[in-house]
Amino acid sequence: MIASALIQPLTAADIPALEKLEAATRLAFWGREHYRKFLEEYPEYFGAKAVLAPEIGSTKLVGFILSRSIFDNLEILKVGVHPDHHRRGIGTILIQSAFEEGLRRGCRRCFLEVRKSNLGAIEFYYRHNFRMAGSRINYYTDPVEDAWIMERSLK
């Protein structure tokens, strides 16, 4: 874990910074109104953000995670860390925050999809005890690509 990042709840006020971060991480931005609804209207959705600590003069958004709880399943929808801050533990503390909230909500398993070509992310998920559970054909667009479904227990 890095000492210079703080984890805080992701809110609708973060959407403009989130849009910029997703562009930097090459994630598909789902639109301001969708994120607003996820974060304000649908209680099953929740997120966290990593910001640089104020004592170093910035509150720049450097990472985020968006998840939802459905019955006893936690689904990780998106994880993004700015490329300038990779391999500093930010992704780990973000995903652990989602696990903790999922457990608090009664979730027992966690699922996610990842591009089959995203070997760095797949390795990251393996390090966090995820395993392959299946695939989805043509799941991603721009470019079109299949996804691996990965899962792990939260207990």
Mean pLDDT in the chain?
92
Q: What is the pLDDT of residue 33?
A: 94
Please check the confidence at residue 98 and state whether its pLDDT lies above 80: yes
Please check the confidence at residue 5 and state whether its pLDDT lies above 50: yes
Indicate the length of the chain as a whole number.
155
Q: What is the pLDDT of residue 29?
A: 87
Q: Domain residue spans in the chain?
A: 1-107, 112-155
Mean pLDDT value of segment 30-44:
94
The CA–CA distances, whole Å, from 80 to 99, 115, 133 equal 16, 14, 22
For residue 62, the one-letter residue type is V
Q: Which residue has the higher pLDDT, 32 or 5?
A: 32
Confidence band, pLDDT 50/70/90 cuts, at residue 93: very high
Q: 1-107: CATH homologous superfamily? A: Gcn5-related N-acetyltransferase (GNAT) (3.40.630.30)
Q: What is the pLDDT of residue 57?
A: 55
Q: Which residue has the higher pLDDT, 4 or 88?
A: 88
Confidence band, pLDDT 50/70/90 cuts, at residue 155: confident
Locate tokens 């403009």: which residue? 16
28 close to 62: Cβ distance less than 8 angstroms:
no
Question: pLDDT tens-digit profile of 44-92?
Answer: 999 999 998 765 556 688 999 999 999 999 999 999 999 998 888 999 9
CA distance 13 to 130: 31
Closest CA to 92 of 127, 62, 131: 127
Global pTM reads 0.90
CA distance 155 to 146: 29
Q: What is the pLDDT of residue 1?
A: 44
